[in-house]
Chain A
């Protein structure tokens, strides 16, 4: 309660009476503090309520109608929140995949700097290739060389695409949005299917564009030389629709290749720079191999394998098809152009037919997608729990309150083991222990968390304070799963864990680290062995805003509502209710990258609350925020002075 300064004469009597009657009033203790400078500033900062009622925004315009009265919105959200996780199983997977699909399209729409090159570059290169072909700039139209250049150029046009596709996936992973998605309950299968569908929707556009441009160029008048081959002409190439099928299938092939290789990168920039080179290297790999074979063994080597030079060349083409998606596309295009037919005439071997390109593209796409799925899912597989108990001596050394909590949690553990039920803790951490091996050989392990036992009932807001190096971050990392896999990412995250501080984020919040011992129950579901169910009750706000920069507030909420499995019929109610509750109304259509730091944090909280999780993890929610709004704007909520915290 607030004691008015004017009544200071009566403070003495009041506190004396309070001291005398503490027992009667069942008061165990009381505190007294002065008003902070912040509250003084809030009090003199202006009448925000008036401004809020007037509802002026940045540009002075009135906010949209969705900023409905709070009372009504809270009523609505309570109603909708009771329906969290209404869908599970196949239907939930479908809804989640649809959400990921829409997310990809919306981010592309909102970020033309990335989506336009993705859609525009390959058709532009194809157009140049077609024009070179029909004008006979390389060789006469229909010639093998001319078609070879055309095929290679179209395949090269697809090279930057790998960067753009992988960048999105790697960024998702490095910025921890992927982890937040996992915690929100997104199935691995739904994630990859949705992402693939989104990328395919974009790549189908460019495949159709390349085909249409090809058809258009084919009907242009071409200079016909004496040696012009009718079979190899562009008109022949685009006729029959083989080209379109090949391009569509190659798109799936390339996209899935990007997903798989994206696991090797811990940085989006490195992925953008490296992946095209990797693709070129993969094309060159069989060429180098064959080259080595020839250089080392020469013609006798070929004789040894009963292969003619032509046969070895065709086998090299097969190798290229298998090794590289771009190589497969190029060879497929050559097959359509008739180059392979040309080879067949010159040798007896079986040249790679057109259908082989399609089969390789389809089978490798399935293989790469499966790898991506398995790599992702591997991190969520159940891990055996090891129990850890303190010795009596160690318990005696604990602080009294901490020891009491330890015993309570131990009782709860015993109850779970004996009766199969738990005491009703929403979150229970029992004997959590995490060691880090020393960097140098023989160095003793660093114990980041020493048998942490904590039971948090529903309705409690538990604050974990820690000095730098206390291991607070590490504890949170052990709670949630990770999809970061390879050493590069992990080693950087490990540094974060070993050097916790303000700048080290809880990027690695999602089960990057497995506890050495201990069990964590979220609403009775173990994080180690039953994470899928535990995640349904878990929401998390990381220290850094884990948002898609090119997605608006409302789209974020829709995406996460779909990930939570909310059916379409209830989705809009839930989203609108959340927007109103979190006071995001005037910003609903603003992209996340254009939001202020505080609004981003609010959006993160809103995203975590979609689906009504019972347990929420907040990692430094107000990190980087000013205590009050910067001048000349008046303070946000002097109302807080009326409502004691």
Chain B
């Protein structure tokens, strides 16, 4: 009997998403270029926390994709094997005539892949050239494809990363580290309807970029005048003092230590309360662990 185990495939889920998300605005994060291409109407590529490319998949391909892919499948030829390198070179040379700048990407036993620069490529002309030479070259099949989103993605990431590395290297050569320093002057970009007040606030923001308030997120940071670190220290040291008092009382029969013990316990509890219950743990704080 024909049994259907309905595990939902990725494609099935995509269909569901397309059907249900039509009237909504959706943000989708993914590492799958295929998914992005299948689902998204607009794509942004983030590298090192900064948006470096934005637009429809087609727009990105046209803007960042530099080359087309031409795949040619060779048929059997008299007196030559399909993976004959000489034949491949001959076909490559012929294609080079049709597509200036084309380079052989791979030769997998009769399946040749060429990379053709975008500038010299016209889709109509490409099909015409291939159809004309099909018989002569013994081509059984061919395919033309535009740059994939993955190529676009890799290019954007690589460019940004290499730029950042170059600037870092330049900065280290300069010996100052100025390259890493954020720019400390500047105004709001023109062309917006924003007011002068906005510009002022922008300037003040820029001016305060490197000071401590930059990391401020509005979360309460102090209690009884002490921050988390201080409260934690109070709790820890008072706790240790408590322990010492306990040992003194029990081990050395020093009864008079009882009252310091009570006082230390009080402060220890206060510190614990401050740390755990009053002050929110700030994920930015490196001392949280």
Encode A273-309 as 1/0 by CB contact (under 8 A) with B. 0000000000000000000110111100100000000
A394 with B40, Cβ < 8 A, contacts A9-B131, A292-B250 known: no
- Kindly identify which residue among B7, B16, B127, B146 contacts A605, using a CB–CB cutoff of 8 Å: B16
A569 CB–B CB distance under 8 Å:
no
> Which B178-199 residues have a C-beta within 8 angstroms of A?
180, 183, 185-195, 198
A142 CB–B CB distance under 8 Å:
no
Which residues of chain B come closer than 8 Å to A617, judged between CB atoms?
26-27
Dominant secondary structure at the B interface? mixed
A296 with B3, Cβ < 8 A, contacts A435-B284, A517-B205 known: no
A407 with B13, Cβ < 8 A, contacts A394-B183, A506-B29, A598-B8 known: no
Dominant secondary structure at the A interface? mixed
Interchain CB contact under 8 A, B46 and A402: no
Interchain CB contact under 8 A, B40 and A463: yes
A570 CB–B CB distance under 8 Å:
no
- Kindly identify which residue among B48, B183, B281 contacts A471, using a CB–CB cutoff of 8 Å: B48
Which residues of chain A come closer than 8 Å to B127, judged between CB atoms?
8, 11-12, 15
- Kindly identify which residue among B11, B50, B277 contacts A628, using a CB–CB cutoff of 8 Å: B11
A13 CB–B CB distance under 8 Å:
yes
B1 CB–A CB distance under 8 Å:
yes
B144 CB–A CB distance under 8 Å:
yes
Interchain CB contact under 8 A, A462 and B26: yes
Which residues of chain A come closer than 8 Å to B4, judged between CB atoms?
48, 51-52, 56-57, 633-634
A-B contact count (CB 8 A): 429
Interchain CB contact under 8 A, B26 and A471: no
Which residues of chain A come closer than 8 Å to B32, judged between CB atoms?
620, 622
A452 CB–B CB distance under 8 Å:
yes
Minimal Cβ-Cβ distance residue in B for A602: B8
Encode B203-227 as 1/0 by CB contact (under 8 A) with A. 0011000000011111100000000
Which one of B72-80, B103-111, B117-125, B233-241 is at the interface?
B117-125
- Kindly identify which residue among B61, B122, B128, B186 contacts A394, using a CB–CB cutoff of 8 Å: B186
- Kindly identify which residue among A57, A388, A490, A602 contacts B16, using a CB–CB cutoff of 8 Å: A602
Which residues of chain B come closer than 8 Å to A434, judged between CB atoms?
49
Shortest distance between the CB of B231 and any CB in chain A (Å): 12
Question: What is the size, in residues, of chain B's interface with A at 8 Å between Cβ atoms?
Answer: 118
Shortest distance between the CB of B3 and any CB in chain A (Å): 6
Interchain CB contact under 8 A, B10 and A626: yes
Interchain CB contact under 8 A, A414 and B195: yes
Encode B122-148 as 1/0 by CB contact (under 8 A) with A. 111111100100000000000111101
Interchain CB contact under 8 A, A620 and B7: no
Interchain CB contact under 8 A, B283 and A621: no
Which residues of chain B come closer than 8 Å to A467, judged between CB atoms?
46-47, 153, 157
A472 CB–B CB distance under 8 Å:
yes
Which residues of chain B come closer than 8 Å to A622, judged between CB atoms?
10, 13-14, 30, 32, 35
Beyond A29-B59, A292-B258, A463-B44, 10 extra complex contacts between A and B, CB < 8 Å: A399-B53, A405-B51, A411-B194, A450-B48, A458-B23, A460-B26, A463-B40, A466-B29, A615-B25, A639-B15
Binding site for A on B (CB under 8 A): 1-36, 38-55, 58-59, 61-63, 71, 122-128, 131, 143-146, 148, 153, 157, 180, 183, 185-195, 198, 201-202, 205-206, 214-219, 246, 249-250, 253-255, 257-258, 261, 276-277, 280-281, 283-286, 288-289
Task: Give 10 CB contacts A-B under 8 Å.
Answer: A389-B198, A413-B194, A425-B25, A463-B40, A463-B43, A598-B8, A598-B10, A617-B26, A625-B13, A636-B9
